[in-house]
Amino acid sequence: MTDKKPRPLLKVENLTVRFPVKRGGLFSKKAYLYAVDDISFEVARGETLAIVGESGSGKSTAALAIARLVEAHSGSVMLGDDDFLSLKDEALRQARAQVQFIFQDPYASLNPRLRAEAVVREPLDSLGTGNPNDRQATIDELFKAVGLRPEQQRLFPHQFSGGQRQRIGVARALATRPELIICDEPVSALDVAVQAQILNLLRKLQKDFDLTYLFISHDLGVVQHMCDSVAVMYMGKIVEHADRLSLFNNPLHPYTKALLSAVPSVDKKRRLETKRILIPGDPPDPLSPPKGCRFANRCPAAQEQCTQSQPLLRHMKTGHSVACHRVSDDGVAPL
Least Å distance between CB 303 and another protein? 22
Contact 95, 79 (CB under 8 A): yes
Q: Which helix (H) or strand (E) holds 142?
A: helix 135-145
Least Å distance between CB 302 and another protein? 16
Is position 54 an interface residue for another protein (rule: CB under 8 A)? yes
Residue 93 to residue 10: CA distance in whole angstroms: 18
Is position 259 an interface residue for another protein (rule: CB under 8 A)? yes
Return the range that interacts with another protein (CB under 8 A); candidates 73-81, 87-95, 191-199, 206-214: 191-199
Beta-ladder partners of 100: 181
Return the range that interacts with another protein (CB under 8 A); candidates 98-106, 113-121, 219-227, 286-294: 219-227
CA 173 to chain CA centroid, Å, is 15
Return the range that interacts with another protein (CB under 8 A); candidates 42-50, 205-213, 280-288, 317-325: 280-288
Residue 62 amino acid letter: A
Q: Which is nearer to another protein, 73 or 244 (CB)?
A: 244
Per-residue b or e along 271-291, where b marks 16 or more CB atoms closer than 10 Å to that residue's CB: eeebeebebeeebeebeebbe
Return the range that interacts with another protein (CB under 8 A); candidates 127-135, 242-250, 285-293, 323-331: 242-250
5, exposed or middle or buried, with CB in 10 Å at 0-12, 13-18, 19+?
A: exposed
Q: Which is nearer to another protein, 22 or 269 (CB)?
A: 269
Residue 212 to residue 180: CA distance in whole angstroms: 5
Contact pattern for another protein over residues 148 through 187, marking x by CB under 8 A: -------------x-x------------------------
CA-based radius of gyration for the chain: 21
Least Å distance between CB 190 and another protein? 10
Q: Which of 222, 233, 301, 322 is close enough to bind another protein by CB under 8 A?
A: 222
Contact 97, 68 (CB under 8 A): no
- Among candidate residues 310, 17, 230, 316, the one with its CA nearest the CA of residue 324: 310
Q: Which is nearer to another protein, 43 or 226 (CB)?
A: 226
Helix ranges (DSSP H) in 154-242? 162-174, 192-209, 220-226
Is position 1 an interface residue for another protein (rule: CB under 8 A)? no
Q: Which of 90, 151, 267, 330 is close enough to bind another protein by CB under 8 A?
A: 267
Least Å distance between CB 286 and another protein? 13
- Among candidate residues 121, 203, 114, the one with its CA nearest the CA of residue 160: 114
Least Å distance between CB 94 and another protein? 35
Q: Which is nearer to another protein, 88 or 158 (CB)?
A: 158
Contact 253, 323 (CB under 8 A): yes
The residues binding another protein (CB under 8 A) are: 54-55, 161, 163, 191-197, 199-200, 203, 218, 220-222, 224-226, 244-245, 248-249, 258-271, 273, 276, 278-282
